[in-house]
């Protein structure tokens, strides 16, 4: 029981600490699945740094996150603690020009915060 709890804590902490976070298979430079690769490309096109977690290196997160997120598949994009969605949603938002402002405004908000504190 304790094990799943710590995994959930880890997930919550990652989501809290990273305003733009992608759970994916592989890394942005070496994605391990087509969906992750497409999601990464869309995110990179927004021109802002983002955090990622390679779920292949973290089987505990891979097992627990779908239940926590109520979203069965990867990749998963989280922005400011909210699940945005998976590959289809990311690409759709990108094509409709909704992803770019979301990512850029979020990044801007957090770089300003850091500068002031």
d(CA 27, CA 55): 9
The tens digit of pLDDT for each residue in 30-86 reads 999 999 999 999 999 999 999 999 999 999 999 999 999 999 999 999 999 999 999
Q: Is 46 annotated as a binding residue?
A: no
Domain map (residue ranges) of the chain: 2-93
Q: Is 87 annotated as a binding residue?
A: yes
Q: Is 60 annotated as a binding residue?
A: no
Mean pLDDT of 2-15: 88
Q: Among 92, 104, 93, 102, which residue's Cα sits nearest to residue 49?
A: 104
Q: Is 113 annotated as a binding residue?
A: no
Q: Is 74 annotated as a binding residue?
A: yes
Q: Is 25 annotated as a binding residue?
A: yes
Residue 111 tokens read as: 């770089």
pTM: 0.92
For the domain spanning 2-93, the CATH number is 3.40.30.10
Task: Indicate the pLDDT class of residue 117, thresholds 50, 70 and 90.
Answer: very low
HEC profile for 15-64? HHHCCEEEEECECCCCECCHHHHHHHHHHHHCCCCCEEEECCCCHHHHHH
Average pLDDT, the chain: 94
């Amino acid at each position: 029981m304790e094990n799943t709890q710590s995994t959930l804590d880890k997930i919550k902490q990652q989501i809290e600490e990273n305003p733009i976070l992608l759970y994916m298979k592989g890394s942005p430079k070496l994605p391990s699945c087509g969906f992750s690769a497409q999601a990464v490309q869309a995110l990179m096109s927004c021109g802002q740094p983002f955090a990622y977690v390679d779920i292949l290196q973290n089987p505990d997160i891979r097992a627990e996150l779908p239940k926590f997120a109520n979203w069965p598949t990867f990749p998963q994009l989280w922005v400011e603690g909210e699940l945005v969605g998976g590959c289809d949603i990311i690409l759709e938002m990108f094509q409709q020009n909704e992803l770019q402002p979301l990512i850029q405004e979020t990044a801007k908000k957090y770089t300003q915060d850091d500068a002031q504190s």
